[in-house]
Structure 1
Amino acid sequence: MGETLAVELAPFSIRVLIVEPGAFRTENIFSQPFYEDNPIPDYDELRKVAIAHYKAVDGMQPGDPLKAMQALVDVIHGEGRAKGKAWPLFLPLGVETETAIRDKFETLDGLIDEWDELIRDTRLDNLWYGTALLALSVLLLLVFQKIIEFRRAVHSVNNHPGYRLLLNTLGPIENFFPRVPGITPGGFHMWRRKHKDFESHGWDVITYASPSTLYMRIVSAFLGSKTNFYVADPDAIKEITTHRARFPKPVEQYKLLTFFGNNIVASEGEEWKRYRKITAPAFSERNNRLVWDETILIVQDLFNNVWGDQEEIAYNHAVDLTLPMALFVIGVAGFGRRIFWKEDELVPPGHKLTFKGALHTVAKEVFTKLVVPDWVLKLGLTESHRQTTLAFDELHMYLVEMIRARKESEKKEERYDLFSSLLDANEEEEDGQVKLQDSELIGNLFIFLIAGHETTAHTLCYVFAMLAMHPEEQETLYEHIKTKSVIQDGGLLDYECMNALPYCGWVLNETLRMFPPVHSIPKSVAEDTTITISNAEARYWEDPHTFKPKRFMDDKWPRDAFLPFNAGPRACLGRRFTETESVAVIAMIVSRPAKKTRTQIKTGPKYDAS
């Protein structure tokens, strides 16, 4: 009982000590006569022996009760001979007690040796069968429970048309599965299928009901039924995106983007308002002009120092051109660091990579950073993991140094890159608002990098692909640029030229309509809801699967069915940044102003058959 009591009281920091004393010279046991009333005859002989024993030891006990009490006090207080020793559950006192305990241990040890075969041969036969049966029973109960939850989820939406799937559509792992009816819709299904799922069900709002979700750290687990609404109706989309309070952003899905610090993308409520108030001014008209001017110079540098006088320039993939180009633009217009196509930049003291090298690797390996846990990256099991860790550490170090240098400088240079504008806006923040911490500044700058690089680079890649596959549109675009007479001396285009080149914007918009950089925009309500970009829907776009930039010539084109930059209060702050950069690149690449002959974008032999 004492051992059980010790376990029960341990959570309350109450300790138990089981004292087992031997024979100590006290008078308590002999101060009263032995009780002999109503004796049981069967115990007469045993009683006589016990009484004789106690009378014989009276006054002959070897134990000193004072020493016993002193030992007990020492153990309780951890003093004297008990100092530095762990608390004992048992405290035997006296030589005869020690002898008796040792004799009992010896007896038990001998008994176990003698009877070990009988003692051990008591297990259930076919133990594996019982274990398997138990596991199967638990699994069946779990499946039954999830079936009930799944039916409730479907019933909660009145069995609205849509898909009933084993795997959820929003987990990151599901994107690596092929399309299997009843199991999974397939990787990036909304981007690949666009409006086909809505057409097959005859509704502009469909449901995806699933009993499970796969997550990064769980290979397969039932974690509760999920019902997601996918919305393709422009009026409904406008309602959802306009009312931010009723349809908040599920920021838990964006926590992976906070490894540098909290930011505007992974925030909501008052925190989002605070970030937006400070970051929005950075995307100014002056910054747009800087984006245009620097993009023109970057493309001109490409012409002069990379392409030169080559009659034909071949790329294995268009992103081999657009990724570095977008990186250079975000480098100078985002961080105030001009980067050239060909340069021998020295690694600064205290660093292992140049700023260009760190920025390039971070932009290239951001997906690795998002999906691989930090502790795995730090192990450095592969060269990719080692380079990713180094690049992110180096970029963080560069940004910290840039922030510190800017704050400590006496004379602040007038600059309009996002980094400088963000720091200026943060320093000017008043009205009792808390300024952004350095980690928050870096977190938002990192979001600018991701948003301004990856999406723009791939959009431009699709632009060139569509122009190559539609040479008639490429010819129309070239004639449009040529007839506008916007090319300045030296083969450069001035920022004021942008508004005079609407066809470049139409080509960009048509590409974004067909290949949006983000295929869905999640919103939360009582149940998870996702807005699907339904840009290919026939009711809103005539001949939606055909590349027709002139559809944007009509000023009444359906803007509510066009969401490459989101909509409502949470619309992308960098929309004008991307549009400015993209129009400048398209105009320069297609016209190549300094050359007497135009650039002709073509597909390679691999794609000629299609």
Structure 2
Amino acid sequence: MADIQSIQQFFSFAFNRAQEFLQTNNVGATQFVVPLLAVFVVSRIVKYRQNLQAVSHIPGLRVLGHPIGLPGALLRTTWWNPIGFDYLWIWRNSLYKDYGSDTISVVPFGPTTGGPAIFSANLDVARQVAGGGHKSSFFKPENASRALLAWGMNLVAADKETWRKHRRVMGPAFNNNLYEMVWKQTLTTYREMVSAEGWSDKKEIDIPVIQQLTFKLALIIIGKCGFGFSFNWFAPPKSEGGKMHVQEALKIVSETYMISLFLPKWIKNLPFKRLRESKLAHEQLMEFMHSQVAERKAEIASGSSDLPEGRNDAFTMLIRANEDEGGKFQLDDQELIGNVYIMLFAGHDTTAHTLAATLGFLSLYQDIQEEVYEQIISVVGPDRDPAFEDYPKLYKVLGLFYEAIRMFPAAHLMIREAYEDTVLHIPNPHGHEGVTTVPIQKGLQVVIDMVGVQYNPRYFDAPNEYRPSRWYGTSGEASDSFSAFSIGPRACIGRKFATTEAVCFLTLLLRDFTIHPVMRPGETKQGWRNRVLDARFALTLGVADVPVKFVRRDKRTI
């Protein structure tokens, strides 16, 4: 309604004039409290009605603060704040059911940095807004990637032509030669881990936090295959200054990204331990990435064939591809650094968390372990090293990883914004045919809730159950429902890197050990699951600390 905007403008004008009058005439403030409060309330009502109109009055949440704006993005979900930043996880089984649709609206009525939005757990809606095609009316807004843009424009944060430029340069680095290297290095690193941790002669090994192993494994593999480092299980990489391991810096940056996003600079410089750690981690990581770009560019410019061993890694191939480009397709140094960070972060954080979740679920299901163990023995046997050629035959091992990332999707939000007036074709509730066409105004954000997608009964029977068999025979790639690595042309470029590492590692581990939960006195398996297999939010969605025990298997002959 045109008059709504006029009314709001009038109240805004009146509010400003009242403030000026108060200041210039030195009149007592109490005389203006009630009328000013009335102006504010009416103004918010008008704005609220505009917001409802923007989402076409789709049923949904009417909230004080937006969960992906300030202050909601800083607050957890509690009884007094029912939609904090983690509410999509907390209410994953009931949110859309309560409204009878897997597409709802979120409309704030209080002062917040987030405006009205449509939230959807529907894959058809996701495909309409995902972008990458020539007809999409949606783009990825900069505020959806603020945490990643701090290091420079990159493949994940870029959109449209900028994304195509980054994809053109990065694409050639991800190929079968790289994946074969990942397999071989994972095999070597597993052997190093067993030796270094003193497991060779042990029957049982208690591991209080499995992430201590999975994060180290993932860093070493991305270091060796992504960057050509020669370090091993004992010696993770450091920046040139040597003050902090790269793994430690990555962990701190991930955990303190809210500080980087929202706190003003003067607060970041206060002498508190966590703030000092965050600042040092950012400095050390940036120093490390600058040195890597400079080092590779110098090597390639020299034209020497005597490069260090392992320089067929993904990052060197990225630099080489970029140097071969010209004009508008070439990335500058800051863009290269942005992509260094994405490779480090995605290759480390996402894989490590998903492996931790996989091992946590496996510890609860001995029957699944035995089923997969039988396939491992039938394909690889009890003693020979698994080869990269075995990868497609170990589809049950791959299913373990796919099911874990379904239940803990690392990239839990996909945010898109309409750059023109358009429409969405929203499927009717599950069990009902047809779609409802909804007008979308320019500037409205549509948020794809990837947690909601993965727990949507439209796509998954018994979605709260860990069932790797969902992916047997399809291995995920052929399933329309597999979307935990995103969907469409913007699906994660490192997916095969992660799955190759995971399949090799899990094959070796499950052949040598069975996995069991480490429970508290009197705790049941269900109690352990409720306590341990819970989400933790940083830059990505991960899993809580997972305590498990490895018990060595008796060697089996074929």
Structure 1 length as normaliser, TM-score? 0.70
Give the letter for the 2:219 counterpart. Answer: L
Partner of 1:388: 278
Q: Which position in structure 2 is the counterpart of 1:568?
A: 488
Instruction: Mark the runs of 5 or more structure 2 residues left unpaired by the alignment.
Output: 1-21, 419-441, 528-558
Partner of 1:141: 39
Aligned pairs for 1:52-451 (under 5 A) are 130-171=28-69, 173-179=71-77, 184-212=82-110, 221-222=111-112, 226-241=115-130, 244=133, 245-308=136-199, 309-343=201-235, 351-353=241-243, 357-372=245-260, 373=263, 375-376=265-266, 379=269, 381-409=271-299, 410=302, 411-412=304-305, 413=307, 415-430=311-326, 432-451=327-346
Q: Does 1:543 align with 2:462?
A: yes
Name the CA distance, whole Å, in 2 between partners of 1:231 and 1:579. Answer: 27
Q: Tell me the number of residue pairs that the alignment of Structure 1 and Structure 2 aligns.
A: 464
Deviations 1:387-420 (A, max 9, x none): 3333332333333333333333331537332211
Change in CA separation of 1:531 and 1:457 when aligned onto 2, cut-off 3 Å: same
Structure possessing the higher relative contact order (Cα contacts under 8 Å, 6 or more residues apart): 2
1:467 touches 1:473 (CA, 8 Å); kept in 2? yes
Asked whether the 8 Å contact 1:537–1:544 carries over to 2, the reply is yes
> Counterpart amino acid of 2:387?
D
CA change 1:325–1:235 in 2 (3 A) is same
Task: Work out which of the residue numbers 358, 364, 388 in structure 2 matches 1:469.
Answer: 364
Counterpart-to-counterpart distance in 1, 2:131 and 2:265: 40
How far did residue 186 of structure 1 move?
Answer: 3.4
Assess if the C-alpha contact under 8 Å between 1:179 and 1:185 holds in 2.
Answer: yes
* Structure 1: unaligned runs, 5 residues or longer: 1-123, 213-220, 593-597
Equivalent AA in structure 2 for residue 227 of structure 1: P
What are the superposed Cα offsets for residues 491-548 of structure 1, whole Å, 9 maximum, x if unpaired?
A: x322112111100111111112222112221111221101122122223222222111
Q: 1:515 to 1:406 in 2, by over 3 A?
A: closer
Distance in 1 (alpha carbons) for counterparts of 2:325 and 2:287: 25
Choose which of 507, 520, 526 in structure 2 pairs with 1:605.
520
1:502 maps onto 2:502 in alignment: no
Alpha-carbon separation, structure 1, partners of 2:60 and 2:268: 43
With 164-173 and 143-152 compared, the bigger mean Cα shift is at 164-173
Q: CA deviation at 1:426?
A: 0.5
- Give the alignment partner of residue 530 of structure 1, picking from 439, 447, 455: 447
Equivalent residue of 1:229, what SS?
A: strand
Task: Confirm or deny: 8 A CA contact 1:263 1:447 kept in the other structure.
Answer: yes
Inter-partner Cα distance in structure 1 for 2:278 and 2:68? 26
SS of corresponding position for 2:415: strand
Q: What's the offset of the Cα at 1:168? A: 0.9
Greater C-alpha radius of gyration: 1
User: What percentage of residue pairs aligned between the two structures are identical?
Assistant: 26
1:176: how far off? 4.8
TM-score, normalised via structure 2 length: 0.76
Amino acid at match of 1:582: A
CA 315–377 in structure 1, closer or farther in 2 if over 3 Å, else same? farther
Match of 1:515 among 403, 408, 413: 408
